[in-house]
A and B are shown apart, each in its own frame.
Chain A
Amino acid sequence: MSGAPSSGAPPVADAVNQADQADQADTAVYLYGVARGLDPSELRGASGVAGAPVRGVVAGGLTALVSTVRLAEYGEAALRANLEDLAWLEATARAHHDIVDRAAHAAPTAPVRIATIYQDDARVAEVLGAQAERFRSVLDRLTGRTEWGVKAWADPSALDAPDTHSGGGLAPSAEPPTGPPASARSGSGSGSEASRLGAEPSAGAGTAYLLRRQRERRRREDAGRRAAEHAGTVHEDLAGLAVAARRHAPQDPRLSGRSGTQVLNAAYLLDDERVDDFLAAARSAGERLAGVEVEVTGPWPPYSFIGEDT
């Protein structure tokens, strides 16, 4: 039995009736996404935002994944405040993703933007009907495809390493690359910022120090440029295996918890049969590029490939 939504009465009537009996003045309906051909049993036991059970609202052959939320938490004013609370945002984002991910493994599913709220199931059904053509076209595009994420970091020590291609003029120094010259350190011997500022090195030592700093800066800029070029090449190669590709903005290191420079943060929409080739290509890119670490995440529901612009 396929659980096709066209057969018989909507299998969600009981859930809808339960929701209708709730005090509607205090509650609203959170929409996660819209699936086509989803067997409702796939949602059994699923809990969404705030731990509420998830149900399907069926209209026009499409299933909207929803759960009931309290207006005290998801009303407009509450939402505005809660979205600024990172712990709340994380809990909501993970719950939203868990539901979309679960549905997407069972049937083509179009996620909707986080925090899309309706008055009740009847309104969701109405919107589903009004937007049916749009959802069908999005779902057509997503069917048989998944999103994969690829990030690449350039190792900071690799970025600092001498450029072996730039000739013999830059012999490695025995001194720490960013330390002050020896003459400026003679006072305290600690090499601290204070001793550097307090000391008065000779003009020759000072000039040599500044020149060395300048060379180091250029070397780092060159290395950064090379890393960006490598990332561009990797992206082009991977995009060649994808139906669509999109570069996200580099992630804030304070949120990612990663050191090093993120040189690639991209998403790729792949036909299911291309996934193995794609993973092999991503792995080989990571092995080919010294000092660049590649991380792959997936499969994602195709969040990044919904918009009309992709």
Chain B
Amino acid sequence: MTTVLDHATDAPMERIALVDLLDRLLAGGVVIAGDLVISIAGVDLVQVSLRALITTVRDELLPDMGEERP
């Protein structure tokens, strides 16, 4: 199981962070054309998901920073 290693002992410490997972899952892995979602699976996925992250971070995680909100 993938884990974050403790600094001193190299022992597994905690569950991996989503951000580490997304570094790899959004930009890694074998890219093959699927049947149903060619446009997403090929080119657009990283952009689509990064937009999701930015939107979510702005709207949900930092509600007090809403200078761009109506």
A residues apposed to B, CB below 8 Å: 28, 31, 33-34, 71, 74-76, 79-80, 83-86, 89-90, 93-94, 96-97, 101, 105, 110-119, 123, 127, 131, 134-135, 138, 147, 149, 151, 248-249, 251-252, 254-257, 265, 267, 279, 283, 286, 293-301, 303-307
Task: Tally the A-B contacts, defined by beta carbons under 8 Å.
Answer: 168
Q: Are B35 and A28 in contact (CB under 8 A)?
A: yes
Per the bound structure, the CA–CA distance linking A33 and B9 in Å amounts to 32
CB distance from A72 to the nearest CB of B (A): 13
User: B28 within 8 Å of A by Cβ?
Assistant: yes
Q: Are B40 and A80 in contact (CB under 8 A)?
A: yes
Q: Identify B20's interface contact among A31, A110, A117, A149, CB under 8 A.
A: A149
Q: Are B10 and A89 in contact (CB under 8 A)?
A: no
List of A residues within 8 angstroms of B2 by Cβ: 97, 101, 297-301
Q: Are B49 and A265 in contact (CB under 8 A)?
A: no
Q: Are A86 and B56 in contact (CB under 8 A)?
A: yes
The number of residues on chain B lying at the interface, defined by a beta carbon within 8 Å of a beta carbon of chain A, is 44
CB distance from B47 to the nearest CB of A (A): 10
Q: Identify A267's interface contact among B4, B24, B26, B55, CB under 8 A.
A: B24
Q: Are A112 and B36 in contact (CB under 8 A)?
A: no
CB distance from A267 to the nearest CB of B (A): 7
Per the bound structure, the CA–CA distance linking A116 and B19 in Å amounts to 20
Q: Could you list 11 examples of A-B contacts with CB < 8 Å?
A: A75-B36, A84-B48, A86-B57, A89-B53, A118-B34, A135-B30, A149-B20, A255-B19, A255-B53, A279-B10, A296-B5
B residues apposed to A, CB below 8 Å: 1-5, 7-8, 10, 16-32, 34-37, 39-41, 45, 48-49, 51-53, 55-57, 60-62
List of A residues within 8 angstroms of B4 by Cβ: 295-297
CB distance from B15 to the nearest CB of A (A): 9
CB distance from B37 to the nearest CB of A (A): 5
Per the bound structure, the CA–CA distance linking A249 and B39 in Å amounts to 24
With A255-B53, A298-B3 known, 11 other A-B pairs at CB within 8 A are A80-B40, A83-B49, A83-B52, A113-B30, A115-B40, A267-B24, A279-B5, A286-B7, A293-B7, A297-B3, A306-B28
